[in-house]
Homo-oligomer: A and B are copies of this chain.
Amino acid sequence: MTRGTGRGGASPAPRSVDVARLAGVSQKTVSRVFNDEQYVSADVRRRVLEAAEELGYRRNNAARALASGRTRSIGVVTLGTALYGPASLLMGVERVVRDTGYALRVVNTMEGDPAGIAGAVDSLLDQGVDGIVVSEPIDELAAGGDTALRVDVPVLVLGAPSPVVAPTVLTAGDGADLMARAATEHLLDLGHATVHHLAGPQAWYAARDRLDGWRTTLTAHGRTVPPVVEGDWSAASGHAAGRELAADGDVTAVFAANDDMAIGLMRALAEAGRRVPHDVSVVGFDDVPVAAYVTPPLTTVPQRFDAVAQEGLKRLVHAIENPDAIPLPASDPPVDLVVRASTAPPPNRTAPVRGRAAASRSRSAAPTAPHANGGRPTPN
């Protein structure tokens, strides 16, 4: 537990020379010890460490950065929301970054922020980071009118193709289209004629990806592609969209681009007297912690934020430390739907329902429908 004593406002912080003097070695040797370089005898190392401990020495990172040209820090550009996706990704990133010995600097972008991602990246560059992570970018670069931002450190983009130009650009977690496919196919397999989509804001790559996956799947199966309803990720927008969808008797299955919207949607359906999953099936995306506990428990596509962050950062750090090596290849995590109680076969396979509530009230009114897990929530 080496821990600074905190000089009580008095004497200035000790420097490596002070440690060197006390240990009877040169400054360079102190540097060697603290950088874990080789060629330091066990005895000298011990003496240096003791001297440092005694003085309460901690090395000055600014001086280190200035002399070495590296800050040993990684910057993250993330969206200024507490949305489950971005927040989880950020936490995952922090964890891995710390493990790799880098410091983390964070800059937010807000939707509608004029400076946008370019401004955020720019400010990180000002701070002198060694690498940059752009998490879940939305595209507003076009609005800037400026040419695409050029960056001279490696960049990792999470959940999207890259919005910047850099010598090394890596991506991870951009397989949302495949996951959307799994969701859509699940509903088709249950017998639904087609699947409606409650999309996320189309400025987000992540939202477009999910929409693409959904559309492609329907087309591949020869189904009609119904008009898209767009939300803003919030439960409130899902609720608003749900009122529209509830009014359309043809809607028997909806794939929502995230769980929050799915929850708002289910609420609107309930208010309109359309039961989930009996009349309408709903699939979400993310697997937020409450998903298993809403009514009915939500079938959804879990995202593996930790895995994505870890995988991506491993490659980013590799790129930072081996500028001339070939970047490590990406490997996307597998897709697996979590089936709970918000999905079921359509109300009437042969005669599509027209108007609301035709031939319903037949099955149990309990919100937890029959399924693999019998309506019992699945903690995850």
Residues of A at the B interface (CB closer than 8 Å) are: 1, 3-7, 9, 58-66, 71, 73, 80-82, 84, 87-88, 90-91, 94-95, 98, 103-108, 110, 118, 122-123, 125-128, 144, 146, 149-152, 167, 234-236, 238-239, 260, 263-264, 266-267, 270-271, 289-290, 292-295, 297, 367-368, 377, 379
Rounded to whole Å, the gap between the CB of A287 and the closest CB of chain B is: 12
Q: With the chains together, A314 CA to B103 CA distance in Å?
A: 24
Given contacts A9-B152, A108-B94, A238 and B293 within 8 Å (CB-CB): yes
A290 to B284, CA, bound (A): 14
Q: Are A82 and B81 in contact (CB under 8 A)?
A: no
Whether the pair B270, A122 counts as a contact (CB closer than 8 A) is no
Known: A58-B125, A235-B290. 4 other contacts (CB 8 A): A6-B152, A94-B107, A105-B105, A106-B106
Residues of B within 8 A of A87 (CB): 82, 87, 90-91
A273 to chain B, nearest CB (A): 10
User: Cβ of A62: which chain B residues have Cβ within 8 Å of it?
Assistant: 62-66, 71, 128
How many copies of the chain does the oligomer comprise? 2
- Which residue of the partner chain, among B1, B88, B294, contacts A295 with CB atoms under 8 Å? B294
With A126-B58, A289-B234: A271-B368 Cβ-Cβ less than 8 Å: yes
Complex alpha-carbon distance, A8 and B222, angstroms: 49
- Report the Cα distance A270→B334, complex, angstroms: 34
Inter-chain contact A127/B61, CB cutoff 8 Å: yes
Known A4-B122, A58-B125, A271-B368; contact A290-B260, beta-carbon cutoff 8 A: yes
Q: Is the CB of B7 within 8 A of A236?
A: no
Checking B3, B81, B263 against A149 with a beta-carbon cut-off of 8 angstroms, the contacting residue is: B3
Closest B residue by C-beta to A297: B267
One of B1, B73, B81 near A91 (C-beta < 8 A) = B81
Q: Could you say which residues of chain B place their CB within 8 Å of the CB of A379? A: 236, 239
Q: Does the CB pair A236–B104 fall under 8 Å? A: no
Write 20 A-B pairs (CB below 8 A) sorted by A numbering: A3-B146, A4-B150, A6-B152, A9-B167, A58-B126, A62-B62, A73-B105, A80-B95, A82-B84, A94-B106, A94-B107, A94-B108, A95-B110, A235-B290, A235-B292, A235-B293, A264-B290, A267-B294, A290-B294, A295-B367
